[in-house]
């Protein structure tokens, strides 16, 4: 009897999850290299009570909704010219490799810095991976750092190395790990391949690809759907109240 309640609640609970996702996108609207996330829902069928063999041979299964997963938008974010020689943006589908205690992770945020040892690091101090492994060390007496379109880092004292730029056949294999980093999913179907279609642009920085208008529209949508479901629950509640009142009058 309460099925309609449960269906409504299942919808509201996924709408809350979606609201969380939208909130996270909007909170990261200024985060370099951030990629907007979106959610996928899935129908969930309850077990049939009479195996589809009721009096009128109908299927009495009830379909609910559950969250299925999320995916990140792979649309390129706006590229801002910063003039900072240690800012790099990627033009193409690739990702920059970063060394972390959990192994190589990937990022689109190319706002790098130099640490006290002269190594190229991310804003959170993680070492930027070179193509052949190891760190990229900028010599102390270097006057100028140039990063060419294939990711080769050079100074006026000579070449330093090459940035690790990887491409993935399926970018959804990358799971967000926080700090602007993505981790290759343990169940990934693709592996990090060489950068064939990605160019490195020095002195620019890729912003967040979150679209304010899309997120706001989605947010309104979530709110209204939430309220509509609530109305449905209210109607159902009234119906049951009426039913109880009417039935009790008989006696």
Partner 1 sequence: MMRSLEIGATGMQAQQMNVDVISNNIANMTTTGFKRQQIDFKDLMYQNIERPGAQSTDQNTILPSGLQLGLGVKMSSTYRVNEQGPVQITNNPLDLALNGNGFFQITMPDGTTAYTRSGVFQENQDGEIVTTQGYKLDPVITIPNNAISVTINNSGQVFAQISGQTQLQNLGQIQLANFVNPTGLEAIGDSLFKETEGSGAPTTGNPGTDNFATVRQGSLENSNVNIVDEITHLITAQRAYELNSNVIQTSDQMLQTIVQLR
- Applying CB under 8 A, among 110, 128, 164, 215 the residue interacting with partner 1 is 215
Q: Near partner 1 by CB under 8 A, which window of 95-103, 145-153, 161-169, 220-228? A: 220-228
Q: Near partner 1 by CB under 8 A, which window of 9-17, 57-65, 89-97, 159-167? A: 9-17
Rounded CA gap, 130 and 138, in Å?
12
Tokens of 75: 């649309």
CA atoms within 13 A on the CB side of 185: 13
Which class for 74: exposed (0-12), middle (13-18), buried (19 or more C-beta within 10 A)?
middle
Task: Give the total of residues touching partner 1 (CB under 8 A).
Answer: 66
CB atoms within 10 A of CB 244: 10
Rounded CA gap, 29 and 23, in Å?
10
Tokens of 53: 């063999």
28 contacts partner 1 (rule: CB under 8 A): yes
Based on CB atoms, which residue is closest to partner 1, 60 or 236?
236
- Applying CB under 8 A, among 52, 54, 123, 134 the residue interacting with partner 1 is 123
149 contacts partner 1 (rule: CB under 8 A): no
Binding residues among 150-209 for partner 1 as defined by CB under 8 A: 172, 175-180, 185-187
Based on CB atoms, which residue is closest to partner 1, 165 or 210?
210
- Spatial contact of 182 and 190, defined as CB atoms under 8 Å apart: no
Tokens of 170: 């399926």
CA 138, distance to chain mean position in Å, is 32
What element of type H or E holds 91?
Answer: strand 88-91
Instruction: Measure Cα distances from 198 to 38, 152, 163, 202, 224 in Å.
Output: 24, 13, 12, 13, 41
4 contacts partner 1 (rule: CB under 8 A): no
Annotate each residue in 36-75 with x if it binds partner 1 (CB under 8 A) or - if it does not, as one string.
Answer: -x-xx--------------------------xxxxx----
27 contacts partner 1 (rule: CB under 8 A): yes
Residues that bind partner 1 (CB under 8 A): 15-17, 19-24, 26-32, 34, 37, 39-40, 67-71, 82-84, 109, 111, 113-118, 123-124, 138, 140-143, 172, 175-180, 185-187, 212, 215-216, 219-220, 222-223, 226-227, 230, 233-234, 237
């Amino acid at each position: 009897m309460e099925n309609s309640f449960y269906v409504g609640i299942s919808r509201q609970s996924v709408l809350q999850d979606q609201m969380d996702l939208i909130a996270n996108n909007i909170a990261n609207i200024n985060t370099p290299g951030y990629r907007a996330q979106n959610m996928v829902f899935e129908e969930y069928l309850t077990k049939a009570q009479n195996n589809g063999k009721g009096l009128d041979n109908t299927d009495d299964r009830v379909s609910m909704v559950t969250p299925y997963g999320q995916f990140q938008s792979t649309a390129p974010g706006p590229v801002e010219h910063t003039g900072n020689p240690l800012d790099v943006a990627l033009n193409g589908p690739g990702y920059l490799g970063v060394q972390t205690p959990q192994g190589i992770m990937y990022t689109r945020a190319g706002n790098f810095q130099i640490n006290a040892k002269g190594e190229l690091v991310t804003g959170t101090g993680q070492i930027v991976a070179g193509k052949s492994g190891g760190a990229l060390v900028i010599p102390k007496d270097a006057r100028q750092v140039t990063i060419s379109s294939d990711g080769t880092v050079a100074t006026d004292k000579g070449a330093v190395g090459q940035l690790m730029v990887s491409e993935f056949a399926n970018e959804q294999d990358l799971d967000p790990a926080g700090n602007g980093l993505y981790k290759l999913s343990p169940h990934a179907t693709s592996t990090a391949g060489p950068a064939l279609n990605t160019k490195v642009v020095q002195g620019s920085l890729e912003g967040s690809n979150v679209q304010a208008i899309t997120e706001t529209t989605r947010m309104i949508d979530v709110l209204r759907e939430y309220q509509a479901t609530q109305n449905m629950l209210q109607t159902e509640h009234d119906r049951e109240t009426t039913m109880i009142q009417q039935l009790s009058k008989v006696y």
